[in-house]
Chain A
Amino acid sequence: MMRTIDRKVVRDLWHLRGQVLAIGLVVAAGIAALIMSLSTLEALEETTAAYYERYRFGDVFAYTKRAPESLEQRLAAIPGVRTVQTRVSRYATLDIAGFPEPVMGNFVSVPEGRQPVLNQLAIQSGRLPERGGGDEVVLNEPFAEAHGLRVGDTVVAIINGHRRNLRIVGTALSPEFVYALGPGALMPDDKRFGIVWMGHDALAAAYDLDGAFSSVSLALERGADAATVIRQVDRLLERYGGIGAIERKNQLSNWFVSNEMEQLKSMSLILPTIFLVVAAFLANMVLGRLVSTERSQIGLMKAFGYSSFEVALHYAKLVVGIVLVGSVIGIVGGTYLGRMNTGMYTDVFRFPLLLYRPSLSAMAIAVSVSLFAALLGSTGAVRRAATLPPAQAMQPPAPGTFRRFGMSRSGLARWLDQPSRIIVRNIVRSPLRSALTMLGVAASVALLVLAMQWNDALTYLGQSYFYQAQHQDATIGLAEPQGDAILRDFRHLPGVLAVEPMRIVGADLSNGPRTHRGSLTGLEEGAWLQPIFDDASGTVMPVPPSGLVLGTTLAEKLGVGLGDDVHLEVLEGRRPELAMPVVGLVETYIAMPAFINIDALNRMLKEPPSTEYVNILIDRRQEAAFYAEIKELPLVSAVMLRQAAIDSFYGTIVEHIMVFITLFSVLACALGFGVAYNSARISLSERGRELATLRVLGFRRGEISYILLGEVGFLIVVALPFGCLFGRGLSGLMAAAFNTELYRVPLTIAPSTYGLAVVFALAATLVSALIVRHRLDHLDLIKVLKTRE
């Protein structure tokens, strides 16, 4: 049996349902955002952990030119190494029927007829290549799907200069390629890049690597120090063209997955905090109003013998009720959003099974945090109710005390009509509430700016990276560095307008204890297809005859500036070690480049003029002929097409960012609506009598709406610019939180983004104004004459 005082809680909630719902929505938005991030995070974390474990994802990865199989035992003997898996790994071009552009395949060997010991395949259809089945391959599933390839189909590959028909015997996924990124790409492009697993013997034979390997993956003992192992692996592989081992956290696919999880974590902090703070203040506002209208009831309860604690509990239960309403909506919404969000991840991250099971703990965390915030926020109002002395409580409250504002007698004040004075005095009278209303609206605008600026930032990033920093149509990767003659050969291919050499060598860069395992990019003097481009200033820096030009992020990591020496340890060729001065700094959004003159690089390596990549400008009309030729060239190991990279970048961005923006905008609008609606509703409740009196005195509906909504409207309009500023700050914070070695998100906000954010926020508040206006139109004029506040 429900106690009567609790029945009052339920009826009060029902009576205040509009406001309860409006606050509930803000709470719900916070809870939904929190559950969405937490549950997606859980899903990703659990899935990756289980996936990595089940399919034995390696701890250390290394690549060499060609190392003898005998080295395997020495690698296994390194203290801390548990398992070693050697293999052949090479890039080659694929020719897919009906697809004109060349497609790149990362060929990785697997033992015939059985799973490798590390980095096992999750077979999705068919089987592994069998012993003696020389041309059998397994494709990674997204690539096969993108081309509609099935078990039994064949694809053509140009392996080491030979065209080979490969028979697809299976499709699979691998923990190594959750995020399958082709060389030089920013986003996965399943049409143009695929993983091809082939029997080890067959692939080794094709690349003349019988009895040798070109890649090795290690599993470490629990507690082994990866850095120590890597040093020893590097030493062993040094002679065989090893280009520096990396640990799991730097493995490309895993890096992207972990980075995404980091971002989810920061999102789960920033967003819900904003919503819950606002919800707390709204709860306080509404409860405060309720306590003052129920003064006499509170007095009565106390007179009947209810204790202060019971009274406090009674009002606290109202807050709990509001949070419960929000929780239900938030949990349903958050679970839905989490499922959608997780689903979106499966577009780019491929797991054999991605289980989305929102845990009770995520929900419990979300609900308790909201409850805590709302109760904390409404402490003031609850305490006021509890400490009201009964005798005083039964008296009507003293009429509000107002003061003239400072400029009462000034020209400005004379210009104000009486209704406007009412607005100004009410704002000035409760500065805290006015400030909080503004803060709430500003937060809503800020969130909108934050959400929408992502589009600006990424569009800007894409513009800068793909259109201003690059002008080539294709970048061709060569299997081995080639002499300058190769440039002439490329120049003679059909449709080629310009050719530019580029060489990238792996290197450790260091300054004292600060080190970075990266690469040196060699460019020719006067390079213009892919110049040294400063993304921030939008200018090209000429390739200097000697010295290094570093990306600012790298320079910061190494703690070097212009004129400082950087210690270089090249990881290829003769592996020279030397110091080189920094002669230029450029700000780049992508990667941490170190540029060097290609001639200087070749001299440093003591090699004749050679190139490993060729940037090419193509006459679009002869594109098809060019592709056809490229597909047949034996030396080509990689083809990167700028247009394809642009398409996949913007394709992914448009799809994902728009979902993200829509979601945020809806949440932010709920926030703006909740704040504006509650402010106006409370004003209406406090001043309904005043407004009805004005109606009796002959004021029109529009005129009294002006007084009530004018106040809220004024606060909102003043809040808008603050919201824009706040949004800029928040965007900066987010951009900083998303800063990684692989990319930086520029802080760029288009004026139209501010405009749109303001329009959205205004629309949300306008809706709440219209609802309140509807109530204003139905004020009971007669009741106010007879009742006293």
Chain B
Amino acid sequence: MATAIAQPVERENYLNKHYGVGSWLLTTDHKRIALLYLASITFFFFIGGFFALLIRLELLTPAGDLVQADTYNKLFTMHGQVMIFFFLIPSIPAVLGNFLVPMMIGAKDLAFPKINLLSWYIYAIAGILMLHCMLTGGVDTGWTFYTPFSTAFSNTKVIEAGLAIFISGFSSILTGLNFIVTIHRMRAPGMTWSRLPLFIWAHYATSIIQILGTPVVAITLVLVVAERALHLGIFDPKLGGDPLLFQHLFWFYSHPAVYIMILPSMGVVTEIIACFSRKRIFGYSFVALSSIAIAVFGFLVWAHHMFVAGISVYAALVFSILSYAVAVPSAVKVFNWTATLYKGSIRYDAPMLYAFGFLGLFTMGGLTGLFLSALGINVHVTDTYFVIAHFHYIMVGGALMGYLGGMHFWWPKITGRLYPEGWARLAALIVFVGFNLTFFPQFILGYLGMPRRYYDYSHMPEFQVLNVLSTAGATVLGVGYLLPMMYFLWSMRYGKPAPDNPWRAAGLEWQTPSPPPTFNFETEPVVTWEAYNYDEIDKGHKEVPQVVG
């Protein structure tokens, strides 16, 4: 098939400029670093997914008959830790952000390329430590490390896991730092703030959260490790400490962390919706500012994770009201995306299918978040599958869909190859069906009272049907994830060579060859047009002044 097509003479690009392991492990090219991250996070996605598979297998039957209770505790703990810290938090920023941020603003690289490479090494070291921890016994505290169980009672490798996550935090901090300085200092002439792609605004807001929030969880993990090693008493009620202090400090980061995971995805979805509706984004400044608002408001709501933990009812009231407020900027975005779609010329390529999936599933996840913000409902569904369904709708139905959509959208630019569109659309549908089959039953299960983190529900055997549906869905979902892995790999060798701008999309990154040369632009671009100028592009005006010779 592909062999019949004459391969064009390969231009020099960032992929073929240097060969050899050393040229990859010592690179400072943001595009190569993005691919280093792509490989590592995919690896951890498999590991996290493997744990999920075991969890779902256990829950096929009410009895705890697949693994022991302690093992099950380790499974859900490590599923959460791996997926959150080693997959979701890096995912879009470290892969798509690293690759695209400099290109979208017309720069040759990030502000600090060596620190970018250091970020990846820090992540890799943290990952190796985490792997070692998992292989030598694992940790069973829940990804939330609640004290005093984690500091005084757990017999698992809490210190090692805590240190691994502590180290990975610095990778996140340095990436955020790099993005902020880059976006402030390295925009090409004419690339004003109001002409920036909303993907950039989203990553800017994400970076603010990364640099302000991550250090707090870092010091909290230091305290947990110190307390566990030295029996200090900071979180131990027997010694005068308050276990809730840990929770306050932990959730001060971990709530904004969920915005680290969703904001970049929102940025991706904005780019895709504009391109596949052939329209400017409706309400550009609202979308841009709502990203910043999410970043700011996201820091004000953390104790909604602690409503039943023992905080005072007055604190609960304050945080409940603030949690309603934080939903507003997200809703603003959903309205703006919908208005963008209205009267657009919609194309249903794979990236757009993922974007549609995102719209519906993120909205559901977000609305159920509002249910959880209501104190009365929260008391009823905390620590049940309702919460699990809520955050998986956002993290998987939202963030992961956005990630997959973005990978498809920019794949031609990154690799210079086209993926097979038919298979991609099929995979997107399989993912959507599998996802809903996995997680919708969990809303019902939670509402009916099935607790989370239980490996044995034999006192509630009536829940089995919904659990079986959920596990069946997970299998379908797994197939849906394997398909892209396979055809992406296939396309790198056998895919059709991609043109510079296969989607006729707006954005400076599309004004370079696919794949781009190492320094992105031959001459520094000078921007004189507004973002998302699809009307100009589609009228056949000479597409934005070419910047590459």
Tell whether A and B belong to one assembly: no
